[in-house]
């Protein structure tokens, strides 16, 4: 890694990001960081789509040969792609109280991390000259910023993120079903949430987006403590979204908690796989460029194999 890349990367650690008051600066740093992380790989963000095949002619890039078609027809065809300049993306950010959680060792809350993700993706999508809208929700959609591709639109999104504080309970299923109907134009829907709620209702809501022919990316934002349950001594747990406070010995329930949590994640992953929804798990201690680089590189490779 070059010294310049190393220098920029230190600003992408969540511990540093929470100290930067301006989300526009956070977004720029993160986007520049994960584009640097992709090096020279073919990077097309979210807008590349497979267009059609055409017969191979000498001089064509052999990397775009479709070997599946060759296997069926014994003829060489090239896969062509096109940049969709009218992509419409909608980002839905969970602002319910559970997103406020921050363990002792975490650099930021899940909501703050979700804001970093949202700001970074908005910055990137608008940089592609595509349009984006933003929906904030708890048990209902509390704020919706209509789509725009104008560069100044980013200021509106960042202003709203800065002014929002997590509160209230959530109702993922009903929110997703309502938004699937509200966003009428087929496009890309990006959900940023901890997904805490009724799993069956959540899955029904996600499927509703697919039924409306939206492409869906699910960024599952968690705290590392929720994944690992590292508590060893008598601990006072404070419930969020109306749950009670309780003091207990966590060792006695660690295995049961981890089994339950793993089953919850497994159910969500399985549903996403069946419905062809991209599932990306993040935790609030992850450097954002690492998380986004990994996902976008995988997405780029997958699009070439389509």
Contact 104, 96 (CB under 8 A): no
State pLDDT tens for residues 173-216: 999 999 999 998 888 999 999 999 999 999 999 999 999 989 99
197 and 56 share a domain? Answer: no
State pLDDT tens for residues 68-90: 776 777 777 666 554 444 678 99
With vertex at residue 245, the alpha carbon angle to CA 243 and CA 247, rounded to the nearest 5 degrees, is 140
Interacting residues of 22 by C-beta distance below 8 A, sequence separation 6+: none
186 and 260 share a domain? Answer: yes
The reply to whether 304 falls in a domain is no
Stated pTM of the model: 0.77
| pLDDT on residue 52 | 55
Q: In the sheet that 131-137 helps form, which strands lie side by side, from edge to edge? A: 141-148, 131-137, 88-94, 188-193, 215-222, 278-283
Which H helix or E strand runs over 288? helix 288-305
The reply to whether 263 falls in a domain is yes
127 and 206 share a domain? Answer: yes
| pLDDT on residue 13 | 60
| pLDDT on residue 9 | 46
Count: domains in the chain: 2
Nearest to 47 by CA among 90, 81, 93, 92: 81
The reply to whether 306 falls in a domain is no
69 and 182 share a domain? Answer: no
202 and 182 share a domain? Answer: yes
| pLDDT on residue 227 | 94
178 and 230 share a domain? Answer: yes
8 and 154 share a domain? Answer: yes
Per-residue pLDDT of the chain (306 residues; tens, 9 = 90+): 444 444 444 445 666 666 655 666 667 766 665 555 444 333 345 654 544 556 666 666 676 677 777 677 777 766 655 444 467 899 999 999 999 999 988 999 999 999 989 988 888 888 878 899 999 999 999 999 999 989 889 889 989 998 999 988 889 999 999 999 999 888 899 999 999 999 999 999 999 999 998 999 999 999 999 998 887 755 555 655 555 566 565 677 788 889 999 999 999 999 999 999 999 999 999 887 777 777 877 776 666 555
Helices (H), 80-189: 110-127, 153-162, 172-182
DSSP letters along 47-83, please? Answer: -EEEEEEEE--TTS-GGGB-HHHHHHHSS-EEEEEEE
Pairwise CA distance, residues 144 & 47, whole Å? 23
Q: Residue 289 corresponds to which tokens in the numbers above? A: 């460029």
| pLDDT on residue 247 | 57
Handedness of CA 287, 109, 113, 253 (dihedral sign): positive
Residue 53's domain comprises 48-83
| pLDDT on residue 240 | 56
| pLDDT on residue 39 | 41
67 and 145 share a domain? Answer: no
Beta bridge partners of 283: 222
The CATH code of the domain that includes 133 is: 3.40.50.410
Contact 291, 280 (CB under 8 A): yes
The reply to whether 305 falls in a domain is no
36 and 52 share a domain? Answer: no
Contact 278, 216 (CB under 8 A): yes
| pLDDT on residue 31 | 64
52 and 165 share a domain? Answer: no
13 and 58 share a domain? Answer: no
Largest CA distance in the chain: 72
179 and 33 share a domain? Answer: yes
The reply to whether 275 falls in a domain is yes
The reply to whether 218 falls in a domain is yes
| pLDDT on residue 60 | 65
Pairwise CA distance, residues 294 & 14, whole Å? 17
């Amino acid at each position: 890694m070059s010294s310049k890349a190393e220098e920029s990367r230190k600003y992408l650690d969540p511990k540093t990001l929470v100290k930067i008051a301006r989300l526009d600066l956070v977004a720029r740093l993160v986007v520049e960081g994960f584009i640097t992380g992709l090096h020279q790989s073919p990077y097309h963000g979210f807008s590349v789509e497979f267009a059609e095949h055409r017969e191979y002619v000498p001089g064509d890039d052999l990397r775009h040969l479709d070997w599946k078609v060759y296997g069926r027809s014994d003829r060489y065809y090239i896969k062509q792609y096109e940049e969709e300049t009218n992509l419409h993306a909608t980002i839905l950010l969970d602002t319910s109280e559970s997103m406020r959680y921050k363990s002792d060792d975490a650099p930021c809350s899940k909501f703050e991390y979700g804001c970093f993700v949202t700001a970074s993706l908005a910055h990137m999508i608008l940089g592609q000259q595509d349009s984006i809208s933003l929906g904030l929700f708890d048990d209902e959609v509390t704020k919706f910023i209509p789509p725009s591709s104008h560069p100044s639109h980013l200021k509106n999104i960042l202003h709203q993120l800065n002014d929002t504080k997590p509160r209230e309970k959530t109702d993922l299923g009903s929110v997703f079903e309502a938004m699937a109907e509200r966003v009428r134009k087929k496009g890309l829907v990006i959900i940023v949430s901890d997904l805490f709620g009724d799993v069956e209702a959540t899955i029904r809501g996600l499927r509703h987006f697919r039924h409306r022919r939206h492409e869906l990316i699910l960024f599952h934002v968690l705290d590392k403590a929720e994944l690992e349950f590292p508590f060893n001594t008598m601990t006072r747990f404070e419930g969020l979204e109306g749950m009670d406070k309780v003091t207990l010995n966590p060792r006695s329930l660690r295995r049961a908690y981890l089994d339950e949590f793993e089953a919850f994640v497994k159910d969500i992953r399985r549903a996403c796989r069946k419905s062809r929804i991209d599932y990306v798990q993040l935790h609030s201690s992850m450097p954002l460029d690492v998380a986004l680089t990994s996902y976008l590189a995988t997405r780029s490779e997958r699009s070439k194999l389509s």
